[in-house]
Structure 1
Amino acid sequence: MQTGAITGYIDVAQLVLYAFWIFFAGLIYYLHRENKREGYPLESDRSHAIKVQGWPAVPSPKTYKLANGETVQAPNARRDSQPPVHEGAYRGSPFQPEGDPLLAGVGPGSWANRADVPDMTYEGLPRIVPLRTASGFGVAPQDVDPRGLPVQGDDGVEGGRVVDLWVDRSEMLFRYLELKVADGRHVLLPMNFARVLHHRIVVKSILGEQFIRVPGTRHAEQVTLLEEEKIMAYYGAGTLYATPQRQEPLL
């Protein structure tokens, strides 16, 4: 027999190959099972008593230690707290948000139930803060300083004016514009929804009169992860629900 052969039909290379196949199959099973620590079991649209988890089943809870010293278990029984969609929907029927569709938490306005605490930098400071509290940051002289500029919705109506910018101290970029709207509140506008021109700022996703209903923040100089989700979802929902025409087919 040749070097490495165990019998006339089996050698070490075959055993190593079979061991790799078994290991790889086990790795796929493990990763697929660990992937179900969040979002599972799924909720059935036939009955709330049915738990959809597929194969393999949802793993047993594991405790994770967070950077701030707190702990969290996954999976857990926590449910999302989005407003309800209309009752009596049949399987496959389109979602019809109740109340204000921009706040319904469905479709492009969906949001995740993240922790209601600010995102922090490595040094333990709030990551996203207004320029008025962030020393060492400013607007580049060759760029347009949007402070004081009017903000218009897709209908050309002014919905507010920029009073400050919010900077991400970890990524070194601006995340939000802070607006003062008609009722005197200050709300945030994500930069990716804003088109900054020389004399105005245009937002295509919502209308001018809808800025007044943008979700606010508890603190004037901090924004939590959950608040960011709801703010971003509001502008995202406007891409479909800002006007009735946006919900109609293109053709």
Structure 2
Amino acid sequence: MTTPATPVFLDAAAVSLYIFFAFFAGLIYYLTRENKREGYPMVGELPDRPGFATMHGFPETPAPKVFRLHYPEGATVVQGVRPERDVSAQLAPDYPYPGTAFVPTGDAMKDGVGPAAYADRADTPDLAYDDNKPKIVPLRAAPGWHIAHEDPDPRGKSVITLDGAVAATVVDLWVDRSEYILRYLEAEVPGGRRILVPMFLCTFNDEGTTQVISVTASQFAAAPGIARPEQITLLEEDRISAYFGGGHFYATPERSESCL
């Protein structure tokens, strides 16, 4: 018995290629859409024509994601619903046309703008996954943690800033119990106020003297503090890191100008 002829010719290689093309097109669509979770929709800066340049493009901006938080248990947060910091009074356009750069109107390091900008994070401590306790604490509140004997111990030594002045005395170090790393150096300035400095901005000599070239002595004393002596929140972490990081651009007028 012969097989009847059919007008349909099935080429497996061609079908596989078409399936790949369809998959790849879908992948590009998906990645392009997910790429718009930040920075979209684009909004114009013309004050007399609000929303003039609002644009989603193709494909449309995806719906906001809902994230489940580790703590408190069962809590969720929706992407993009938290209002951003209003820094309109701290910045002014350099030139009167859309797209121009903004320049600080006051003390950029204190105002938290430009390179010294910080995110308005939750004013709660970052908790360890295993015990739901703050994971960044001073060594005085972390039994069992200590400085290795072969490493210099800066506690009790001076902090020297950008201008060569002795700005403070180191009183403690803050450890991240989850990452096994020192995160902050705690120093006391004249008058008794205590400042936390990110460890990655500190350098030490063999005697343990600390050098912080991010800021001057007066700027060091004016750095953001923490509300509780043995606890730092996510918001405080961002503010402190932004302040000292911004000092590499704003600490002196020379730093904010080009070399040529």
- CA distance in 1 between partners of 2:70 and 2:213 (Å): 38
The residue aligned with 2:17 is: 17
Q: Secondary structure at the match of 1:21?
A: helix
After superposition, where does 1:10-89 map in structure 2 within 5 Å? 11-47=11-47, 48-49=50-51, 50-68=53-71, 69-76=74-81, 78-82=83-87, 84-89=89-94
Deviates more, 1:77-86 or 1:180-189: 77-86
Change (3 A) 1:27 1:113: farther
1:230: Cα distance to partner? 0.9
Deviates more, 1:17-26 or 1:49-58: 49-58
- CA distance in 1 between partners of 2:82 and 2:184 (Å): 33
Structure 1 consecutive aligned stretches of length 4 or more whose deviation exceeds 4 Å: none
- CA distance in 1 between partners of 2:82 and 2:173 (Å): 38
Cα deviation 1:21-77 (Å, max 9, x = unaligned): 222222232233234334533443334535344432222233222112211112326
Deviates more, 1:115-124 or 1:53-62: 53-62
1:199: Cα distance to partner? 4.5
- CA distance in 2 between partners of 1:51 and 1:228 (Å): 34
Change (3 A) 1:99 1:232: same
- CA distance in 2 between partners of 1:151 and 1:129 (Å): 21
Indicate which of 167, 174, 180 corresponds to 1:172.
180
The residue aligned with 2:196 is: 188
The residue aligned with 2:4 is: none
Structure 2 residue runs without a partner (length 5+): 1-6
Contact 1:160–1:182 under 8 Å retained in 2: yes
The residue aligned with 1:102 is: 109
1:88: Cα distance to partner? 4.8
Q: What amino acid is aligned across from residue 67 of structure 2 in structure 1?
A: Y
- CA distance in 2 between partners of 1:152 and 1:105 (Å): 24
Change (3 A) 1:210 1:61: same
The residue aligned with 2:212 is: 203
Deviates more, 1:193-202 or 1:89-98: 89-98
1:83: Cα distance to partner? 6.5
Instruction: State percent identity of aligned pairs.
Output: 45
Q: Report the aligned-residue RMSD.
A: 2.2
The residue aligned with 1:3 is: none
TM-score, scaled to structure 1: 0.88
- CA distance in 1 between partners of 2:39 and 2:190 (Å): 39
Greater radius of gyration (CA) = 2
Cα deviation 1:196-223 (Å, max 9, x = unaligned): 1224211111111111111111221111
- CA distance in 1 between partners of 2:220 and 2:117 (Å): 18
- CA distance in 1 between partners of 2:85 and 2:28 (Å): 29
- CA distance in 1 between partners of 2:82 and 2:245 (Å): 28
After superposition, where does 1:151-166 map in structure 2 within 5 Å? 151-166=159-174
Contact 1:83–1:104 under 8 Å retained in 2: no
